Amino acid sequence: MKKSFQSAAFVLLTLLTGGPFSLHAQENSTINITTTAVPFLRISPDARSGGIGDAGIALSPDANSVFYNQAKIPFAKKRSDIAATYTPWLKEVADNMYLATLAGYHQLDEGQAVSASLRYFNAGDILMVDYNGNKLQTVRPREFALDFGYSRNLSDQFGIGAAVRYISSKLVTGNVNGTNYKAGNAIAADISVFYNGVTENDRGWRAGLSLSNLGSRIGYTDDSNNKDYLPASLGIGASYTEVWDEDNKMTFALQADKLLVPKIPETTEAMPAYRDKSVVGSWFDSFDNGALQLAFGAEYGFKDQLFLRIGYNSKSYSYGNWQYVTAGAGVRFNMATVNFSYLVPTGDKVNRNPLSNTVRLGLLFGIDK
């Protein structure tokens, strides 16, 4: 029973934290997926970007920019903005798993702004069983991340931004057969830059670069040698808006992301060296992990009141091997905007995105300058 319980706990921690693993399908064939702790930080938290293939780094700024590119905020048309988004998770499997986010910013003047955001991930109630199907215990994993950011423009076209993040991940707590499990905590930071090349009528290019989740490792026991990496990543994006007339415009967006986490060793003997890497060293040792994703999409706007969106996202095998089509819509009512997005399921049941057949709902409330 003890071995079965510890195995169940390991499986739970692996699935929820994205802990590193490598599966050997044959003697000379290895399936190596680059995974990290707190994978909820990799879930796109914005219904608008969710309709454009999750390409959010270079879109026009709003309150949800705090999740993609802080440097956009000084170029926002509204002085203050608040956003809330609800995203069901694994809807085809459970009804009580979701990601909820709240974000907002305030422009201190024409050149600088402050922001804050909260991400809360509820993994529902998970029943742990042994290999014989005997009930062990029910756990209720909960995770959240709290951010505070600052951004400013360096000129009429360039801006920079930074944010600090506190992460708390409570998966299994208490003493389990001699092992004391506890909530994991970590500190991370984001750094971003933004180029705003649009004209007064909103025609032109935008581009951005973002380094996100640069921070400490996180662990769930008192063993300091058993900690996992945060999902540090490098994202680069660009968008172009074409204005046809005063009522109609079209935006095209493209984004590429690279996971800055070392490649998982193929042998257990190499794991100690993998875990002993410094955080900074791990970023530079990540370029051979093959964990890439490419996103692109388009948004049609009518009178800045009605928006229709479509997109596509493809993740490499090392990133999870998800390919999916997205669609979305938005409606603006004076100070409020309502956004929806839907992820069209693709692939088989093994590699299908957990957001398949899911509608994400987002609300924005802004105050004009």
pLDDT, one tens digit per residue, over 221-249 is 887 777 888 999 999 999 999 999 989 99
Alpha-carbon distance of 229 to 338, in angstroms, equals: 35
- What local confidence, expressed as pLDDT, does residue 315 receive? 87
What number is the average pLDDT over the span 252-272? Answer: 86
| Inter-residue contact 153 to 111 (CB < 8 Å) | yes
Output phi, psi for 76, to 5 deg.
-70, 145
**Domain boundaries, position 89:** 2-368
Count how many domains the chain has.
1
Q: Average pLDDT over the chain, rounded to whole? A: 84
Indicate the pairing of strand 158-170 with strand 98-107: unpaired
H helices present in 47-194, as ranges = 47-50
| 3-state percent breakdown (helix, strand, coil) of the chain, nearest 5 | 15, 50, 35
Which has more confidence, 91 or 318? 318
Lowest mean per-residue pLDDT among 204-213, 215-224, 237-246, 251-260 = 215-224
- Find the CATH number of the domain harbouring 216: 2.40.160.60
Percent of the chain with pLDDT over 90: 51
Answer whether residue 182 shows pLDDT above 90. no
Alpha-carbon distance of 74 to 211, in angstroms, equals: 18
